[in-house]
C-alpha cells in the first residue's frame, strides 16, 4: 500500500490516443490526474491502459468514468485495456451510481426581492415581539394557576434555580457593585473638589447607585449569566426532544420549566440588587474615606440625612420587572432552538443581547415615568 502518486503517459498509436496509467489511481493522486484528463481531446479515439495500475479506488474510477462519459458524449470511442475484473466492475459500479444533477431555480435578484426582504425582516421582528408577549402571558397564566392549584408547583426546582440564579451570583454582583462604588467616589471627588463640595460625593454615590446603577448593572450581569443559561438548558432539551416527550407524558413544559425559572429570578433579583446597593455604598464610602477623608460615621450621617428613602424604593421597584424580562427572554429563546447545535449557540447569544437591550429600554421607560409623576 504505497502512497505513490499515479503517473500518466500519453502516446499516439495509429491515430489512437493511448493513456497509460501507472501506480495507484486513488484519491491522493487525484488533482494531477484530474488536470491531465481535462486536457484529453475528443479528436481521436482513446485507449486507457491499466496494465501497470496497482490500485483503483472510487475517486479514480470516477475520473475514468467521467472521461469516458465526456468523450462518448462527443462521439468518440473509449476502450479500457488491461483492467482487472474488479477494477472494471468498480468503474461500472461508479458509472452507474453517478448522480444526475438536478438544476435548481436561481433565486431572483433585484429591487423587489430586497424590499420583500426588508418587509420580511420587519414582519419577523413584530412576530418575535408577539412571541415574547405570548411567552409572558403563558408564564403569568401558569403563575396564576399555581395560586389556585399549588400542588402542581415544583418547589424543589424553584429552590434549585434560586441557588443557581441568586446565591451563586452574589460574589460577582457584589464585586461589580463594590468596584462601581469606588469608581464613582473617585471620579466624583475629583470633579467636586474643584468647587470645594467634596461632601456631596455622598449624595452622588447614594443617589446614583440606589436609584439606577445598582439594579441596572445587576440586571445586566444576571442577563448575561442567567438568560444564556436558561436558553442553553431549555434549548438542549428541545433539541433532544425532551420537551416533546414531556408533552406526550402530559407534563406542561411551561409549568415544569418556565415557572420555576422565572419565579426564581423574580425572588432573587431584588435581593441581588439590594446586595449590589450595599456593596456599592461600602465601596464608595471606602474610597471617600481614603481619598477625601470623609470618615465612615460622617458618611453614614450624611447618607441618612440627605438621601431620601424614595431613591431606594425607586431602584428596587424596577427589579421584579427586569427579572420577568430576563426570564421570559431566556425561556423564549430556548424554545426557539431548532434541531442543530448551531441554532443553540445563535439563540443563546441572541437571548443575552435581547435581554440586556430590553432591560435598558425598560429602565428608560421607568425614568420617563418617574419624571412624569415627579419623584
Partner 1 sequence: MGDTVISVRGLRTQFGAQVVHDGLDLDVTRGEILGVVGGSGTGKSVLLRTIVGLNAAREGTIEVLGSSVPARSKAERERLEGRIGVMFQDGALFSSLTVRENVEVPLRRIAGLAPKTQSELADLKISMSGLPYYAGDKYPSELSGGMRKRAGLARALALDPEIVFLDEPTAGLDPIGAAEFDRLIHGLSRSLGLTVFLVTHDLDTLYAVCDRVAVLAEKRVLVTGTLDQMGRVDHPWVRQYFDGPRARAARAPKEG
Stretch that binds partner 1, among 30-38, 145-153, 322-330, 364-372 (CB under 8 A): 30-38
Residue nearer to partner 1 on the CB measure, 211 or 238: 238
Interface residue with partner 1 among 7, 54, 58, 76 (CB under 8 A) is 58
Cα–Cα distances (Å) from 167 to 39, 162, 264, 359, in that order, read: 71, 7, 11, 21
Interface residue with partner 1 among 7, 23, 66, 224 (CB under 8 A) is 66
Residue nearer to partner 1 on the CB measure, 87 or 226: 87
Residue nearer to partner 1 on the CB measure, 34 or 242: 34
- For 189-244, the DSSP string reads HHHHHTTT-GGGHHHHHHHHIIIIIHHHHHHHHHIIIIIHHHHHHHHHHHHTTHHH
Interface residue with partner 1 among 30, 135, 220, 316 (CB under 8 A) is 30
Greatest C-alpha distance within the chain: 112
- Taking the complex as a whole, the smallest distance from the CB of residue 292 to partner 1 amounts, in Å, to 56
Stretch that binds partner 1, among 90-98, 185-193, 266-274, 279-287 (CB under 8 A): 90-98
Residue 68: name the closest of 83, 55, 54, 53 by CA.
83
Q: Is 267 exposed, middle or buried (0-12, 13-18, 19+ CB in 10 A)?
A: middle
Is 31 near partner 1 (CB under 8 A)?
Answer: yes
Distance CA 64, CA 58 (A): 10
Whether 74 contacts 42, CB under 8 Å? yes
Is 73 near partner 1 (CB under 8 A)?
Answer: no
Is 34 near partner 1 (CB under 8 A)?
Answer: yes
Is 36 near partner 1 (CB under 8 A)?
Answer: no
Interface residue with partner 1 among 36, 57, 70, 242 (CB under 8 A) is 57
- Taking the complex as a whole, the smallest distance from the CB of residue 311 to partner 1 amounts, in Å, to 49
Is 93 near partner 1 (CB under 8 A)?
Answer: yes
- Taking the complex as a whole, the smallest distance from the CB of residue 137 to partner 1 amounts, in Å, to 29
Cα–Cα distances (Å) from 82 to 20, 29, 291, in that order, read: 10, 20, 94
Is 171 near partner 1 (CB under 8 A)?
Answer: no
- Taking the complex as a whole, the smallest distance from the CB of residue 104 to partner 1 amounts, in Å, to 8
Cα–Cα distances (Å) from 193 to 121, 203, 209, 271, in that order, read: 52, 14, 20, 34
Residue 228: name the closest of 353, 357, 137 by CA.
353
Site for partner 1 in 329-368 (CB under 8 A): 338-342
Q: Which helix (H) or strand (E) holds 78?
A: strand 78-81
Is 237 near partner 1 (CB under 8 A)?
Answer: no
Residue nearer to partner 1 on the CB measure, 59 or 303: 59
- Taking the complex as a whole, the smallest distance from the CB of residue 310 to partner 1 amounts, in Å, to 52
Interface residue with partner 1 among 10, 52, 69, 89 (CB under 8 A) is 89
Cα–Cα distances (Å) from 102 to 62, 69, 99, in that order, read: 19, 18, 9
DSSP state, residue 375: -
Residues that bind partner 1 (CB under 8 A): 1, 26-28, 30-32, 34, 57-59, 62, 66, 86, 89-90, 93-94, 97-102, 104, 338-342
Amino acid at each position: 500500500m504505497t502512497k505513490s502518486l499515479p503517473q500518466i503517459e500519453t502516446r499516439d498509436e495509429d491515430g489512437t490516443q493511448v493513456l497509460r496509467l501507472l501506480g495507484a489511481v486513488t484519491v491522493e493522486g487525484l488533482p494531477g490526474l484530474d488536470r491531465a484528463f481535462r486536457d484529453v481531446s475528443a479528436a481521436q479515439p482513446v485507449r486507457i491502459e491499466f496494465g501497470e495500475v496497482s490500485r483503483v479506488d472510487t475517486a479514480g474510477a470516477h475520473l475514468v468514468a467521467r472521461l469516458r462519459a465526456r468523450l462518448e458524449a462527443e462521439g468518440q470511442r473509449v476502450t479500457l485495456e488491461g483492467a482487472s475484473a474488479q477494477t472494471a466492475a468498480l468503474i461500472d459500479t461508479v458509472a452507474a451510481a453517478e448522480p444526475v444533477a438536478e438544476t435548481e431555480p436561481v433565486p431572483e435578484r433585484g429591487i423587489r426581492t430586497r424590499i420583500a426582504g426588508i418587509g420580511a425582516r420587519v414582519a419577523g421582528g413584530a412576530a418575535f415581539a408577539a412571541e415574547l408577549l405570548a411567552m409572558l402571558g403563558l408564564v403569568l397564566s401558569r403563575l396564576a394557576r399555581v395560586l389556585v392549584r399549588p400542588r402542581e408547583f415544583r418547589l424543589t426546582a424553584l429552590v434549585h434555580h434560586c441557588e443557581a440564579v441568586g446565591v451563586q451570583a452574589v460574589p460577582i454582583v457584589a464585586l461589580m457593585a463594590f468596584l462601581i462604588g469606588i469608581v464613582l467616589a473617585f471620579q466624583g471627588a475629583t470633579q467636586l473638589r474643584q468647587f470645594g463640595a467634596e461632601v456631596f460625593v455622598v449624595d452622588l454615590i447614594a443617589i446614583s447607585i440606589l436609584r439606577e446603577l445598582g439594579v441596572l448593572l445587576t440586571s445586566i450581569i444576571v442577563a448575561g449569566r442567567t438568560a444564556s443559561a436558561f436558553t442553553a438548558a431549555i434549548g438542549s432539551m428541545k433539541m433532544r426532544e425532551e420537551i416533546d416527550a414531556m408533552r406526550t407524558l402530559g407534563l406542561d413544559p411551561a409549568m415544569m420549566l418556565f415557572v420555576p425559572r422565572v419565579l426564581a429570578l423574580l425572588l432573587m433579583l431584588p435581593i441581588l440588587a439590594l446586595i449590589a446597593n450595599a456593596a456599592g455604598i461600602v465601596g464608595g464610602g471606602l474610597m471617600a474615606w481614603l481619598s477625601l477623608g470623609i470618615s465612615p460615621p460622617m458618611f453614614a450621617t450624611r447618607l441618612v440625612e440627605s438621601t431620601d428613602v424614595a431613591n431606594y424604593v425607586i431602584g428596587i421597584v424596577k427589579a421584579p420587572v427586569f427579572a420577568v424580562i430576563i426570564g421570559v427572554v431566556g425561556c423564549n429563546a430556548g424554545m426557539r432552538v431548532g434541531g442543530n447545535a448551531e441554532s443553540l449557540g445563535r439563540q443563546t447569544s441572541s437571548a443575552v443581547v435581547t435581554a440586556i437591550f430590553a432591560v435598558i429600554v425598560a429602565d428608560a421607560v421607568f425614568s420617563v415615568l418617574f419624571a412624569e409623576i415627579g419623584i
